[in-house]
Structure 1
Amino acid sequence: MSDTEYLTRAEAVLAAVERTVDDANDGDHDIDLERNGSVLTLTFENGSKIIVNLQPPMKEVWIAAKAGGFHYRFIDGEWRDTRTGTEFFSALTEYATQQAGLPITFSTP
């Protein structure tokens, strides 16, 4: 994947996360969202955080959550965990739901 293709796909991930948090905040959620360059920080009501950031040199998207740190590469049309193969948005849904204490569903842009 070229650098340009990586950035296009990875930025779409960040935009999808931002959109989902905005939509969730219109409902029952109260999630603080801060973007600093290619880093998104989601802060939940209980003070816990999830950080999603881009790693252009490795062409990866990373998640840091209470559950741990996870690296994702674009494989066969999806962002997949480099160790388990878990899809990015389903994993983020699980981590965010655990930390928020309410269901929140992230999906592919």
Structure 2
Amino acid sequence: MKLSLNLSSSTSRPTPPLNPYLNLYHASKMPPNTLLKLVRSSPHQIAPRTSSSLLRAAASKRTFNHINRSTQTPIQASRTFSSGRPALKGLSPESENPTPTLSPKASSTPAAPANLTAEQYNELSDAYMDALVTKLEELQDESENIDVDYSAGVLTLVFPPAGTYVLNKQPPNKQIWLSSPISGPKRYDFVMASEGQDAKEGTGSGEWVYLRDGSTLNQVLANEIGVDMENPYSVVGHLGE
């Protein structure tokens, strides 16, 4: 009977708590199942992070970032359009708004052909062609290479080294046509040169003018051939009669 009592008393004695450091030491040598039981029975349990908890943390982080971006105020670049005229600036500081200079307008008006009758045209054109032939024949006498031929209102001039010139009357158009190896073909109309207050009543003078650029037949002959035809006419009657 004494033996049984001693056994019962020995079995009912409580087990003293283990040192935590000793627990860690013994836990490192325990089997996995025994270690898991100790962790579950510990009053300070640390829940292991599972894959589901990691996913929830990542999802909450994405949600926070989305809300943070949506609450930010976007900065928009603004462009200002102005229909006003830009300010002009000069080269010097005092010329802040210089006045633009306007290009001068041509003061001379385009020439208009004179209103010639057929008789007046023939008189003027014949006189001009005759005076020109006379001057060209003088050049022909000085050089054997120059050849002059005038027949039926057509004047042909061989003038080396430039080439061959042809001048002919055009009664239907009341013009004189020129074919030049240098300046090309041109048509000249007779234009009154002076018929104003300084001119005597009933008189006037004029010359043959290329209306497109205002050049005259006298200028072409002087520049290309060297013939002076500035005064081929005497004073003629009023061409408006």
Q: Are 1:92 and 2:221 matched, yes or no?
A: yes
Show CA shifts across 1:25-46 (max 9, x none).
2335742011120100001244
Q: Does 1:80 align with 2:209?
A: yes
2:187 to 71, 80, 86: 71
1-structure distance, mates of 2:120, 2:216: 19
Letter in 1 for 2:165: I
* Conservation of the 8 A alpha-carbon contact between 1:80 and 1:86: yes
Residue 37 (structure 1) aligns with: 152
For residue 149 of structure 2, give the secondary structure of its aligned residue in structure 1.
strand
The residue number in structure 1 matching 2:127 is 12
**C-alpha distance in 1 between matches for 2:145 and 2:123:** 29
In the alignment, does 2:228 pair up with 1:106?
yes
Question: Cα deviation per residue 1:23-80 (whole Å; 9 max; x = unaligned)?
Answer: 2223357420111201000012448100011111110001101120011111011111
- Whether the 8 Å contact between 1:38 and 1:54 is mirrored in structure 2 is yes
1-side partners of 2:136 and 2:209: how far apart?
21
2:212 and 2:185 map into 1 onto residues whose CA distance is 11
Structure 1 equivalent of residue 49 of structure 2? none
Q: Which deviates further from its counterpart, 3-12 or 83-92?
A: 83-92
Higher alpha-carbon Rg: 2
CA distance in 1, matches of 2:222, 2:145: 16
Unaligned runs of 5+ in 2: 1-115, 193-205, 233-241
Alignment partner, residue 23 of structure 2: none
Amino acid paired to 2:134: R
Question: Counterpart of 1:26 in 2: which secondary structure?
Answer: helix
Which structure shows the bigger proportion of residues in strand conformation? 1
Calculate percent identity across the aligned residue pairs: 26
**What number of residue pairs does the alignment pair up?**
102
Aligned counterpart, 2:202: none
CA RMSD in angstroms, aligned pairs only? 1.7
Is it true that 1:48 corresponds to 2:177 in the alignment?
A: no
SS state of the match for residue 69, structure 1? strand
